[in-house]
Amino acid sequence: MTKLIHLTDPHLMPPGKTLYGLDPEARLTAAISHIAAHHSDADCLVLTGDLTHWGDAAAYTILKRELARLPFPAYPLIGNHDERPAFLAAFPGASTDSNGFVQYRVETEAGRFLMLDTVQEGTHAGWYDADRQSWLKAELDAAAAEDQPVYLFAHHPPFEIHIRMMDMIRLVQWREVAALLAETRADIRHYFFGHVHRPISGCWRGIPFSTLYGTNHQVALDLGPADDAPMTHEAPSYNIALLSDDLTVIHTCPFTYDGPLIDHRKDQNTDHAKREAGRAQVAAARD
């Protein structure tokens, strides 16, 4: 089994700068501390873009420092708020394809992770042109030939989520990508993405997908016709994905929660007799 931590959209600012009334650096530091304390056995972390808000070198320095605190590898992708040259300057060891896009493969026990670069200078919309599609096709063909399951990671979704503001800046070439994925013989298990700052899951053309709250701020849940949506201070989270041959399980962890842990065994309203009888019944069925 592969244990993956999925984190997204920290929108880091230079030190001391806030964003929408929140401190992105403090939020990311809290997330990394929580992950290191509770999930040190994870195999890796993938951060699906919008690493910074303006692409500042100082913000990438913060990110590099925080990711270095993890006891396992971290794989950052870029999003529409990032600057590719600044990211590569801060992470000179980052993998790129032959055209300089930040996309690459990671081999895991669960299968092959394919990291996609959906960023285009001058637009917040997702972009996946012919050169990037060619890389993906070659990787999918290789995975199919080697009988390797595939997990896709990107910043932008290629489908509508029905929040109009975000759908206006989804992947522009979604039809071409949909056709490419429909034609492949590769076993695509899941599509992980960021960008939308909401906990969303579902299935697109037979491919399960998921995303989650951003590390700093969120996009309000508005399924109406408005072209814009406000930002919110809903609690951030990270996801823990457990990947095996026949199962994908994803848990969401609201890492800023500091409320009580309630011992249900001491609650007078709990039907303890029924609970213990149920445990015995389950144990007998297993035997």
* Residue 51: strand, helix, or coil: coil
Q: Which of 217, 264, 219, 220 lies closest to 236, judged by CA?
A: 217
Cβ atoms within 10 Å, residue 165: 15
Nearest CA among 232, 272, 234 for reference residue 254 = 234
Q: What angle do CA 152, 155, 160 make, to 5 degrees?
A: 90
Q: For each of the domains in the chain, give its residue range(s) and CATH number, in order of start.
A: 2-261 (3.60.21.10)
Euclidean distance between CA atoms 195 and 52, whole angstroms: 12
pLDDT by position in tens, the chain (length 287): 999 999 999 999 999 999 999 999 999 999 999 999 999 999 999 999 999 999 999 999 999 999 999 999 999 999 999 999 999 999 999 999 999 999 999 999 999 999 999 999 999 999 999 999 999 999 999 999 999 999 999 999 999 999 999 999 999 999 999 999 999 999 999 999 999 999 999 999 999 999 999 999 999 999 999 899 899 999 999 999 999 999 999 999 999 999 999 888 777 776 666 666 666 676 777 77
Q: CA-CA distances (angstroms) from residue 242 to 47, 54, 111, 190?
A: 16, 33, 12, 12
Predicted local confidence at residue 272, as pLDDT? 61
Give the list of residues 6+ apart from residue 55 with CB closer than 8 angstroms, or none: 81, 82, 83, 86, 87
Classify residue 224 as exposed, middle or buried by CB count within 10 Å of its CB (0-12, 13-18, 19+).
exposed
DSSP H/E element including 48:
strand 44-48
Distance CA 214, CA 220 (A): 12
For residues 209 and 248, the answer to whether their CB atoms sit within 8 Å is: no
pTM, entire model:
0.95
CA distance 151 to 40: 22
Query: For residue 143, which amino acid is it?
Result: A
What is the reported pLDDT for 83?
Answer: 98
DSSP H or E stretch at residue 106: strand 104-107
